[in-house]
């Protein structure tokens, strides 16, 4: 159900309650709920299948090691450390 305020209309996702300034943003966002990973991290936009996994992941952003590898979930305190680590995943050949 959409409630229109005087002025700016809010577009709220009925699956996760997230707010969007335009309908097209909301429509694009809603696609993630039809996939297998409906829960998205607000910080790094990584997606998760279960809310508990997202909540566990979100703690990494508030900890001393907020930079998390998207491949193996190892976390680092500095982006350059993460970059160095990420290089180990991209060894082609
Ligand atoms: Zn949503
Ligand atoms: Zn994240
Ligand atoms: Zn890694």
Q: Taken in order 48, 52, 54, 57, is the CA torsion positive or negative? A: negative
pLDDT in tens, 66-85: 888 889 989 899 999 999 99
> Which residue is listed with tokens 């970059």?
83
Split at pLDDT 50, 70, 90, the class of 9 is: low
Ligand nearest to the CA of 84: 3
Tell me the whole-structure pTM to 2 decimals. Answer: 0.42
pLDDT in tens, 25-38: 998 888 888 878 88
Gap from CA of 84 to ligand 3 centroid (Å): 10
Ligand nearest to the CA of 44: 2
How many alpha carbons lie under 13 Å from residue 41 in its C-beta half-sphere? 21
């Amino acid at each position: 159900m959409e409630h229109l305020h005087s002025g700016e209309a809010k577009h709220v996702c009925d699956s996760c309650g997230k707010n969007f300034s335009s309908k097209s943003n909301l429509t694009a966002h809603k696609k993630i709920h039809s996939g297998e990973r409906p829960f998205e991290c607000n910080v790094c936009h990584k997606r998760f299948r279960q809310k508990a996994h997202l909540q566990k992941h979100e703690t990494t952003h508030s900890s001393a090691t907020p930079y998390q590898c998207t491949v193996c979930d190892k976390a680092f305190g500095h982006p350059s450390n993460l970059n160095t680590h990420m290089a180990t995943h991209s060894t082609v050949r």
